[in-house]
Structure 1
């Protein structure tokens, strides 16, 4: 009988987690047409990873705030700029220095949030460093990640308009 004493709380937690997962927002991210055209320049793998990263960042922010339960969020990564050269750029231009070359980065995101009751809200957000002095990151996609975080926080706190 003691074995079941352990499983009862475990089953309750699993049931609650399953109910929460069923209510969590559905987030999808696709690449915009302009970005698809830049796939050869920036690297398709990098772009797909950034689209996945945007989805994960939004999902985590919404889960943390328990916001937009039951909503469907369809996002388009319209534009993205790296702070450092991508692998594809380094391969295409051997003169680039992967460590010392840096540029203004950021991202533009558009999409639509459909609430559980069917109400739709368009969303648009962009953030880019305004000059090289602002570029503090050491990673290729630092400013894009910063844009994703800012967008996700705005979405999770109910500021749907860009």
Structure 2
């Protein structure tokens, strides 16, 4: 009797697994939010381009384009660098590129599946431990947030904030 119960449990798990499947995505659109664009003391179009490209690449690695899939629209609402950006270096005499801090990012958006159903997306991650910041690049923590979001979307987990 036990093998039958075990087989039933395995079958139930296999049938339930499509509920946790990655969403099918045909197109990924990434943009910068108004709050991010207002930070002209920290960013210029070049930095915003670096961030949007990085997020788009992370998503496309985790969710390859699929014909007949939905549209994933993401907005980078906020991003904090680990090191000074070029704009900050130009505007602040005496600021050293050796300076470091805690970074991260906040992303929102939506996924519209082929039937037109819309699912909101919200994710944020900011580093809380400065011990490793010294060894990281300008956008390392933001890149980690982008990668974490991509992995969560691949697991069909659309919202989480920290």
* TM-score bucket (shorter structure): 0.7 to 0.9
Q: Give TM-score, length-normalised by structure 2.
A: 0.77
**1:36-89 CA-partner distances (Å, limit 9, x unpaired):** 1113422221112211211111011102xx789611001110000000001111
Gaps (5+ residues) in structure 1?
A: 1-22
Displacement of 1:117 in angstroms is 1.8
Gaps (5+ residues) in structure 2?
A: 1-23
**1:70-125 CA-partner distances (Å, limit 9, x unpaired):** 11001110000000001111111121111x20011000000000112211100000
Would you say the 8 A contact 1:68–1:156 is kept in 2? no
Counterpart for residue 10 of structure 1? none
CA–CA distance in structure 2, aligned partners of residues 82 and 69 of structure 1: 36
Give me the CA root mean square deviation: 2.0
Give structure 1 regions of 4+ aligned residues with deviation exceeding 3 angstroms: 66-69
1:52 aligns with 2:53: yes
Q: Give TM-score, length-normalised by structure 1.
A: 0.77
- SS of 2:120's partner is strand
**Residues 1:36 and 1:53: Cα distance change in structure 2 (over 3 Å):** same
Counterpart for residue 83 of structure 2? 84
Counterpart for residue 94 of structure 1? 93
Q: Which moved more, 1:38-47 or 1:120-129?
A: 38-47
Counterpart for residue 151 of structure 1? 149
Would you say the 8 A contact 1:43–1:89 is kept in 2? no
Would you say the 8 A contact 2:68–2:114 is kept in 1? yes
Q: How many residues align?
A: 137
